[in-house]
């Protein structure tokens, strides 16, 4: 028996179009769209009708950068796949791409299997994986080919964190060469970690132990330098490159210069770089620890370059890098030594709203909102058009978004498993009202109806953005 859901009277917004249309969902997929009031739309019957009058009907968000349960700095990110995907759904995100981790001395297979096990049966929404490659060797390089076949078609390398995730230039080049042959996309954490470690040591020796020094030692120019180097290595290898969590104007300039040459170089930024700054890192009483992530928050002046990059398409994607640690007991590990503060911010629940606020504030258009948050991440990581749009044949991952509702972001009301909000007290115009994941109601007019285990692993093709 086919189950039909009819979404009536809303403004359908995709990266390409805005239309007053009704959407017919059959089982888990979009069956058809037709102009609201048209004979076709009026002829549809359904088992369930959702009234979207006054609301946007948008594709569910695709957050291509999350770290549920990531082990880091002797502790572990506080959202599990269960709590993190539930929070994502509350915030209008219906697909995450999380990072499986290869530990040094282990295989990619072992790392990936551990992440399948963590997520299996837990997720409220669909999920996919990238692979963090921490140990590039002959075996790992061969494994990369198999992972692309398995639908894990992107690999994150780190120019930072020596001794943990770090790869030197030779290993990076080898991995890029492999990716250029197998269609994998290399994602780069572009910060010169060797130089940063020298600055950390020197800062601590001077007694500079507060969170704000985290931002100083992770110097803007060491992000720009690493970005430049990553671009050149990718060019030599003949591989496309996706730079994650771009935070600095100088790094955007490197990407823009590469793209002006026609190189397949892409950049992602995150809400924290668009809305927060070193002012937050400098908050007194160790509160700045809440804002410690890498790349770090930058002086406010950098935000204009990020917004411009998003408008000019020198930056293509906004993901969260959701990597929450509670203030109590986790961030506090770094009292007296900023380098021991676990790196990461919560945000998976806030991204769609913050970017809608950016529409309200005039930074980006409504369609660009959907492009950077849904369509492009789906295309970049081989999920399109199954995810990232509302079109016949697409998964019915659909959000009814109320653009006029007012809300205040707060840890008291969010659903992430973390004891603070990075955006405490921030007013947002707009709010998620209803969420469908493959045609099933996950959020029904602000009532949570999802369940752990509904979310399924999604096999990704290779990058569709080239
Ligand atoms: N940056 C973070 O802030 N957290 C996890 C890993 C990373 O690169
Ligand atoms: Zn990173
Ligand atoms: Zn990350
Ligand atoms: Zn289900």
Residues in the chain: 466
The answer, yes or no, to whether residue 6 has pLDDT greater than 90, is yes
Instruction: Write out pLDDT tens, residues 136-189.
Output: 999 999 999 999 999 999 999 999 999 999 999 999 999 999 999 999 999 999
User: Is 214 touching ligand 1 by the criterion CB < 6 Å?
Assistant: no
Domains and their CATH numbers in the chain? 1-466 (3.20.20.140)
User: Which two tokens mark 404?
Assistant: 């006029």
Ligand 1 atom closest to Cα of residue 292: 3
State how far the Cα of 212 lies from the Cα of 181, in Å rounded to an integer: 42
- Which of 47, 50, 60 is CA-nearest to residue 9? 50
Q: What is the pLDDT of residues 20-74, one digit of tens each?
A: 999 999 999 999 999 999 999 999 999 999 999 999 999 999 999 999 999 998 9
> Ligand 4 centre and the CA of 189: distance in Å?
35
pLDDT over threshold 90, residue 1: no
What atom in ligand 1 is closest to the CA of residue 160?
8
> Which residue's CA is the closest to the ligand 1 atom numbered 7?
294
* pLDDT given for residue 371 in this prediction: 98
Identify whether 385 is preceded by a cis peptide bond (ω within 30 of 0). yes
pLDDT tens by residue, 428-449: 999 999 999 999 999 999 999 9
Of 264, 212, 260, 219, the closest CA to residue 243 belongs to 264
Closest CA to 258 of 194, 321, 309: 309
Question: Mapping DSSP to helix (H, G, I), strand (E, B) and coil, where does residue 29 land?
Answer: strand
Query: Which ranges of 321-384 would DSSP assign to H, the alpha helix?
Result: 351-360, 366-370, 376-380
């790392």: which residue's tokens? 111
Residue 231 Cβ < 6 Å to ligand 1:
no
Give the model's pLDDT for residue 118.
98
Take residue 130 and report the two structure tokens written for it. 């990238």
295-344: pLDDT as tens digits:
999 999 999 999 999 999 999 999 999 999 999 999 999 999 999 999 99
pLDDT band at 4 (very low <50, low <70, confident <90, very high): very high
- The CA 149 to ligand 3 mean position distance, Å, reads 23
Q: Is 344 in the pocket of ligand 1 (CB under 6 A)?
A: yes
Give the H or E element holding residue 60: none
Q: Is 359 in the pocket of ligand 1 (CB under 6 A)?
A: no
Atom of ligand 1 nearest to the CA of 161: 8
| DSSP type of residue 322 | B
Q: Pull the structure tokens for residue 430.
A: 């707009």
Q: Distance from the CA of 452 to the center of ligand 2, in angstroms? A: 28
Cα–Cα distance, 20 to 56 (Å, whole number): 9
Mean residue pLDDT of the chain comes to: 98
Q: Which helix (H) or strand (E) holds 400?
A: strand 398-408
Alpha carbon of 444 to ligand 3 centroid (Å): 31
Pocket test for ligand 1, best of 294, 339, 422 (most atoms within 8 A of CB): 294
CA distances 294 to 215, 248, 343, Å, are 9, 12, 6
Per the DSSP assignment, residues forming a β-bridge with 269 are 318
Q: Which long-range contacts (CB under 8 A, 24 or more apart) does 362-365 make?
A: 363/307, 363/310, 363/311, 364/307, 364/310, 364/311
How far apart, in Å, do the first and last CA atoms of the chain sit?
A: 40
Residue in this structure with the two tokens 């028996």, named with its chain if needed: 1
């Amino acid at each position: 028996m086919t189950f039909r859901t009819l979404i009536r009277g809303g403004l359908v917004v995709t990266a390409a179009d805005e239309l007053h249309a009704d959407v017919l969902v059959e089982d888990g997929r979009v069956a058809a769209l037709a102009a609201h009031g048209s004979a076709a739309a009026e002829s549809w019957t359904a088992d369930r009708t959702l009234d979207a009058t006054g609301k946007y009907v948008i594709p569910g968000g695709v957050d291509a950068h999350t770290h549920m349960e990531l082990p880091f700095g002797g502790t572990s990110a506080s959202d599990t796949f269960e709590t993190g995907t539930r929070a994502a759904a509350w915030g209008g995100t219906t697909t995450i791409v999380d990072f499986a981790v290869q530990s040094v001395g282990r295989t990619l297979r072992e790392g990936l299997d551990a992440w399948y096990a963590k997520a299996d049966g837990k997720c409220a929404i669909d999920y996919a994986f990238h692979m963090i490659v921490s140990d590039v060797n002959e075996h790992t390089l061969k494994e990369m080919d198999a992972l692309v076949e398995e639908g894990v078609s992107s690999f994150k390398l780190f120019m930072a964190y020596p001794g943990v995730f770090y790869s030197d230039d030779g290993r990076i080049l080898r991995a890029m060469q492999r990716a250029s042959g197998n269609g994998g996309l290399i994602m780069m954490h572009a910060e010169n970690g060797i130089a940063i470690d020298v600055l950390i040591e020197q800062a601590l020796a001077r007694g500079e132990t507060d969170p704000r020094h985290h931002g100083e030692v992770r110097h803007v120019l060491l992000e720009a330098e690493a970005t430049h180097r990553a671009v050149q290595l990718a060019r030599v290898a003949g591989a496309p490159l996706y730079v994650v969590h771009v935070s600095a104007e100088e790094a955007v300039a490197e990407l823009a210069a590469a793209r002006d040459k026609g190189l397949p170089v892409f950049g992602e930024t995150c809400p924290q770089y668009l809305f927060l700054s070193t002012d937050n890192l400098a908050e007194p009483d160790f509160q700045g620890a809440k804002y410690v992530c890498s790349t770090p928050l930058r002086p406010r002046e950098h935000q204009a370059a990020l917004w411009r990059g998003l408008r000019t398409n020198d930056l293509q994607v906004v993901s969260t890098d959701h990597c929450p640690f509670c203030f109590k007991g986790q961030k506090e590990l770094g009292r007296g030594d900023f380098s021991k503060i676990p790196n990461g911010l919560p945000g998976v629940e806030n991204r769609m709203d913050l970017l809608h606020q950016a529409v309200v504030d005039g930074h980006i258009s409504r369609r660009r909102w959907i492009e950077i948050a849904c369509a492009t991440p789906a295309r970049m990581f081989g999920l399109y058009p199954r995810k990232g749009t509302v079109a016949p044949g697409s998964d019915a991952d659909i959000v009814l978004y109320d653009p006029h509702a007012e809300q205040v972001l707060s840890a008291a009301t969010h659903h992430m498993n973390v004891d603070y909000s990075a955006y405490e007290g921030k007013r947002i115009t707009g709010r998620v009202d209803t969420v469908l994941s493959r045609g099933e109601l996950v959020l029904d007019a602000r009532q949570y109806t999802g369940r752990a285990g509904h979310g399924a692993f999604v096999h990704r093709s290779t990058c569709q953005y080239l």
